[in-house]
Structure 1
Amino acid sequence: MTIPEPNSSLRVVLYEPQIPPNTGNIARTCAAFRLPLALIEPLGFCIDDRAVRRAGLDYWPHVQLSIHSNLDHLLGQLPHPHRLIGCSRHGGDSLGEFQFQHGDVLLFGREDNGLPGHVRDQCDRILTIPMPGGVDADGQGGVRSLNLSVACALVSYTAGHQLQMW
């Protein structure tokens, strides 16, 4: 499957998503913001899974969806220029201070363990959503992470708003 909308200012990519309702909710967000959505296999579900369809409601026809066998396949199809922005709960630039650019690709990792090191290494930048109620450096005392669909909505909206896409 090839990537639609070659002139899109932003793209959302899910690396090996595992939870159907998260993917459905993210698809709905992408439809609302008119952002292409790419999924990197393996997926933890069938794309026609009832839970994915239910979470996306009747918005699936409005989603510019592509599925890729691996990250390299996706990267080989991206238009230039682009930056691969890895979204992670740790070790990145703060969302509030980050300067987005047209052509950015917003990459989100698996729900259970995020972006693996070899994927993070391929990113041009890493982005983090600040969480005042998050865990400390030892992983204690707070929230470990936001739900994937919530994080994707926050980053997508912030990027699109900053780029004056709406």
Structure 2
Amino acid sequence: MSEPGAASLRPARDSDAQDLFGLIALCFADYPGCYVDPHEDLPDLRAPGRSYAGEGCGFWVVEDSHGRVGASIALDHPEPGIAELHRLYVRPDLRQRGLAARLVAHAEDHARRHGAGAVLAWSDTRFLGAHRLYRRLGYSQGAEIRALGDISHSREYRFDKML
């Protein structure tokens, strides 16, 4: 997934925690009322390399030639045969280049290789661009909405896709 002189995909390391919090803060800045609370809302990002280390799971970042994290995606398996996407974020200056779609495809391929027949994702109701992306990639948006009870008062739509 690397482009000449541009960026490369690699597994997340625990040392990426600060960069990932920064990435998410940049992404949330586009949405009034969205805040980053590393103490309560995002515990998996305190040790991103270890948080998704289970069988068939993964956390990947896109790093530029200067070592800066510009995008991320994570994957776990909440139940047998089902994969769930997490932490799909792309820095604002890197959007509209197909990076998010490539990250989703990478995670779906990984899920498929580890026995998943379906994948799901939850997306904040405010993230309209993410909703368009998921639908364009073949995900169905369900009617279900869940409230997270976080500092941002997040409510999320569920998206599903058969692999």
Query: What TM-score results when the alignment is normalised by the length of structure 1?
Result: 0.32
Query: What TM-score results when the alignment is normalised by the length of structure 2?
Result: 0.32
